[in-house]
């Protein structure tokens, strides 16, 4: 059993591929491009175990294109140039260039990504990148503008169950234990939309069986197996999202001890420090918010610092910010306010901007009443004037409700003083 189950079960055609119907189903945009035989350079963005690498290899096979592969973790500029040179040597007449697949493309530096630009522009290669991170943050703009971005979703329970049943029916190693899927709830839940995790659980289950023993998959057997063997973080994706979730929830719950523990788990597992810093930035805005505006400033500087110094020193910066955020007062009032406002906008009722609030750069606009009756706050006592700044139909509507903390209690008192009976604070 040289290859892991996930590799042994890797599909070879689109008909065998499970999941991502929005891309490769009968009406999928990517399937249609493949069937036409002329795919663009693109980036596959999605969680681990959703079929990014598999899809790239299937495309190359179906289009009968040379397939070159690099892993961003282990490759440098030299490797990229060698791959491009090899691609040039495989070009014939007007045939499309070879496909260059780059796994974890978000880990490439700017100079490494720059090395790809010319080859993508000239059609020397068709680039397929795979990433678990938002390409907008990690892929340079010139390269991103030359690529389509396709989003892969976590596999749903139906897709995971299909893969599990296919594995126990077709894999020679599993079949020798006469496997039976008695219960699937724990298997599907602990897989978390990740096919690789599903296969790992099945394979580990089989490895626990004695010779001649039948493999029975139950909720209890899978749960016990997960506790024993899936406790270690895998930067390739095994518990990437689970640990990040535990980390953020511990900060939100104001537990610095738990937060620093999950931070250590991620760091020890090799997590990208920029990923952690971005999560701290989000937490500072979403969970601490206006209860302590300095948290956002600190988190912003943290992101810049880890970019500048990297590991191992970045651990200290991350630890300081983690503890600060966990120990800070919490408020999600700004988060709730923008969601309430977005809900109002999406309701379909979008009245025009009142004339008094419109810009009036020309004589005609002024004659039409643009800017008329606008009250300039600085001309009034205390730099405040009670006037309506919302569309008439939304007049008096409260989107922002101050939370109960010292910082926002001060904001509440000012709003009550200013707006009196206008807004019911």
Q: Retrieve residue 156's tokens.
A: 């749903």
Judged against a pLDDT cut of 90, whether residue 115 lies above it is answered with no
What is the dotted CATH code of the domain comprising 20-151?
Answer: 3.40.50.300
The helix, strand and coil proportions of the chain, stated in percent and rounded to the nearest 5, come to 55, 5, 40
Judged against a pLDDT cut of 90, whether residue 26 lies above it is answered with no
Q: Which fold has domain 157-229?
A: Helicase, Ruva Protein; domain 3 (1.10.8)
Judged against a pLDDT cut of 70, whether residue 230 lies above it is answered with no
Judged against a pLDDT cut of 70, whether residue 231 lies above it is answered with no
Q: What is the pLDDT of residue 317?
A: 96
Q: Which fold has domain 240-326?
A: Zinc Finger, Delta Prime; domain 3 (1.20.272)
- % residues pLDDT > 90 (the chain): 35
Q: What is the pLDDT of residues 329-355, one digit of tens each?
A: 999 999 999 999 988 888 877 788 888
Judged against a pLDDT cut of 60, whether residue 235 lies above it is answered with no
Sign of the dihedral defined by the CA atoms of residues 189, 195, 197, 201, in that order: positive
CA distances (Å), 165 to each of 52, 153, 169, 237, in order?
21, 21, 6, 23
Judged against a pLDDT cut of 50, whether residue 162 lies above it is answered with yes
- Report the C-alpha gap between 301 and 295 in whole angstroms: 10
Judged against a pLDDT cut of 80, whether residue 296 lies above it is answered with yes
Q: Retrieve residue 291's tokens.
A: 């209860």
Beta bridge pairs of residue 406: none
Judged against a pLDDT cut of 80, whether residue 318 lies above it is answered with yes
Neighbours of 408 (CB within 10 A): 21
Angle (deg, nearest 10), helices 273-283 and 240-252: 40
- Report the C-alpha gap between 129 and 139 in whole angstroms: 10
Judged against a pLDDT cut of 90, whether residue 322 lies above it is answered with yes
Judged against a pLDDT cut of 70, whether residue 22 lies above it is answered with yes
Q: What is the pLDDT of residue 366?
A: 83
Count Cα atoms within 13 angstroms, Cβ side, for 157.
8
Q: What is the pLDDT of residue 350?
A: 77
- The distance of Cα 343 from the centroid of its chain, to the nearest Å, equals 23
Residue 241: which of 202, 190, 184 has the closest Cα?
190
Contact in structure between 411 and 291 (CB atoms under 8 Å): no
Choice among 81-85, 199-203, 239-243, 337-341 with the minimum mean pLDDT? 239-243
- Report the C-alpha gap between 326 and 420 in whole angstroms: 35
Judged against a pLDDT cut of 50, whether residue 236 lies above it is answered with no
User: Which pTM does this prediction carry?
Assistant: 0.56
Q: Hey, where are the domains in the chain?
A: 20-151, 157-229, 240-326
Q: What is the pLDDT of residue 93?
A: 62
Place of tokens 């939309």: 193
- Report the C-alpha gap between 205 and 184 in whole angstroms: 13
Backbone angles phi, psi at 373, to 5 degrees: 70, 20
Q: How confident is the model at residue 232 (pLDDT cuts 50, 70, 90)?
A: very low
∠ CA 136-232-262, nearest 5°, is 65
Sheet with 148-151, strands from edge to edge, namely 67-71, 99-103, 126-131, 42-45, 148-151
Q: What is the pLDDT of residues 413-422, one digit of tens each?
A: 999 889 988 8
Place of tokens 């709003």: 415
CA distances (Å), 232 to each of 50, 201, 275, 395, in order?
21, 14, 19, 54
Average pLDDT over residues 21-27: 87
∠ CA 164-59-89, nearest 5°, is 140
Q: What is the pLDDT of residues 35-52, one digit of tens each?
A: 888 888 999 998 888 999
Is there a cis peptide before residue 312, judged by omega within 30 degrees of 0?
Answer: yes
Average pLDDT over residues 93-111: 82
Q: What is the pLDDT of residue 92?
A: 67
Antiparallel, parallel or unpaired: β 99-103 and 67-71:
parallel
Q: What is the pLDDT of residue 66?
A: 87
pLDDT, mean over the chain = 87
Q: What is the pLDDT of residue 224?
A: 81
Judged against a pLDDT cut of 90, whether residue 286 lies above it is answered with yes
Q: Which residue has the higher pLDDT, 356 or 241?
A: 356
Q: How confident is the model at residue 27 (pLDDT cuts 50, 70, 90)?
A: confident
């Amino acid at each position: 059993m040289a290859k892991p189950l996930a590799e042994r079960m890797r599909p070879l055609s689109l008909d065998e591929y499970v999941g991502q119907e929005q891309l490769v189903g009968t009406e999928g945009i990517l399937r249609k491009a493949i069937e036409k035989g002329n795919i663009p350079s693109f980036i596959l963005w999605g969680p681990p175990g959703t079929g990014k690498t598999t899809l790239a290899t299937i495309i190359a096979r179906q289009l009968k294109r040379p397939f070159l592969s690099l892993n961003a973790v282990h490759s440098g500029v030299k490797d990229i140039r060698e791959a491009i040179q090899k691609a040039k040597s495989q070009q014939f007449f007007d045939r499309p260039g070879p496909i260059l697949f780059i796994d974890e493309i978000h880990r490439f530096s700017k100079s490494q990504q720059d090395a790809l630009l010319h080859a993508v522009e000239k059609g020397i290669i068709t680039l397929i990148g795979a990433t678990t991170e938002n390409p907008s943050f990690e892929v340079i703009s010139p390269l991103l503008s030359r690529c389509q971005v396709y989003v892969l979703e976590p596999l749903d329970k139906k897709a995971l169950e299909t893969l599990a049943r296919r594995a126990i029916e077709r894999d020679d190693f599993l079949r020798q234990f006469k496997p039976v899927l008695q219960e699937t709830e724990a298997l599907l839940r602990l897989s978390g939309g990740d096919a690789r995790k599903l296969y790992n659980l099945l394979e580990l289950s089989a490895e626990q069986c004695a010779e001649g023993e039948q493999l029975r998959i139950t909720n209890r057997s899978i749960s016990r197996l997960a506790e024993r063997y899936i406790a270690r973080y895998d930067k390739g994706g095994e518990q990437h999202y689970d640990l990040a979730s535990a980390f953020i929830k511990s900060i939100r719950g104001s537990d610095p001890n738990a937060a620093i523990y999950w931070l250590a788990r991620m760091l020890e597992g090799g997590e990208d420090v920029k990923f952690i810093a971005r999560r701290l930035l989000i937490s500072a805005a979403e969970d601490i918010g206006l209860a302590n505006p300095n948290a956002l400033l600190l988190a912003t500087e943290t992101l810049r610092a880890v970019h500048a110094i990297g590991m191992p020193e970045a651990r200290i910066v991350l630890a300081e910010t983690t503890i600060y955020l966990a120990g800070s007062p919490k408020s999600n009032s700004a988060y709730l306010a923008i969601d309430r406002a977005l809900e109002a906008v999406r309701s379909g009722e979008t009245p025009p901007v009142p004339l008094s609030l419109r810009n009036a750069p020309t004589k005609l606009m002024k004659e039409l009443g643009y800017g008329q009756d606008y009250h300039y706050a600085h001309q009034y006592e205390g730099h405040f004037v009670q006037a309506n700044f919302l569309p008439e139909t939304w007049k008096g509507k409260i989107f922002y409700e101050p939370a109960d903390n010292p910082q926002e209690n001060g904001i509440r008192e000012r709003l009550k003083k200013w707006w009196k009976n206008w807004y019911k604070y």
